Amino acid sequence: MFIEPTLISLIIAKLRGGRFKNLENVNIKAWYLFIIAALLQGILSIIKYIDLAGLNQMILRYKIVIIGITYLLMIITALLNIKKNYMKIFLIGIILNLIVIMGNGGYMPVSLEGIKGIAQESVLPEREFDVKHVAVTKDTKFVYLADIILLPRPYPLPKILSLGDIFLMLGAFVFFQEEMFIKKKKSISQVS
C-alpha cells in the first residue's frame, strides 16, 4: 500500500531539490510503537499459516484486543508527533480504519466485487477469508469506510483500498515531502 506514494513522493521531492540525507535526521517521538504495532499486525496476518506452539487459538481468541492495542499504539505515536502535518493525516487514516474494523468485530470488510476486479482466480470465498478481513455483506457496518475503493488493472499494482488507507498513503507522501526539505539545525559551536 505504501510503495506507490513512497516512490512518487521520493521522486517529486528529489526533483524539487529535497535531500535523501535529511531522512537520516527524522525525529519521530516513540517511533518504536509503530514498529510494535506493525509486528503485532504481522503476527495476526500470518497466524493462519504457521503454528506458534499451540498459541494460535489463544491469539485468535484475543484478536480484537490485539487489534485494539495496535491501533492504540499508532494513535499514541501520532498524537505525540501531532505538530507534524503528516502525523495529522496519518491519525485521520488510523481512526477511520479503526472505526470500521472495531464496528465489524475486528475485521476489515472487503468488497468481493472489488476483489473480482483485481484477482485472477474465479472462485472467491463468500465469508471470512483471512484472520483480518471479511467480505462486505448487508450486515456490514460503516461500509463507506471499508475496503471498497478499487484500483483495477491496467494499474500496475491493482488493489482495494479504504478511505483510511488513502489518508495513510497521503500521510506517507507528505512525510517525504516535508522531511526531505528540513534543514539540519546549526549547532551552537557553529554559530559562535
pLDDT at 59 over 80: no
> What pLDDT band is residue 85 in, cutting at 50, 70 and 90?
very high
Determine the average pLDDT of the residues in 120-147: 73
Determine the average pLDDT of the residues in 164-191: 77
pLDDT at 19 over 80: yes
Contact predicate 78/87, CB 8 Å: yes
Contact predicate 136/111, CB 8 Å: yes
In the block, residue with C-alpha cell 475503493: 149
> What pLDDT band is residue 140 in, cutting at 50, 70 and 90?
very high
pLDDT at residue 154, as a whole number: 78
pLDDT at residue 52, as a whole number: 65
Determine the average pLDDT of the residues in 18-31: 91
In the block, residue with C-alpha cell 472489488: 114
For residues 84 and 51, the model is more confident at: 84
For 105-129, the pLDDT digits (tens) are 998 999 887 666 665 543 444 444 5
pLDDT at 184 over 70: no
Q: Which amino acid does the sequence have at 175?
A: F
Cα–Cα distance, 30 to 78 (Å, whole number): 9
Residue ranges of the domains in the chain? 3-183
pLDDT at residue 51, as a whole number: 67
Q: Global pTM?
A: 0.82
Q: Which amino acid does the sequence have at 182?
A: I
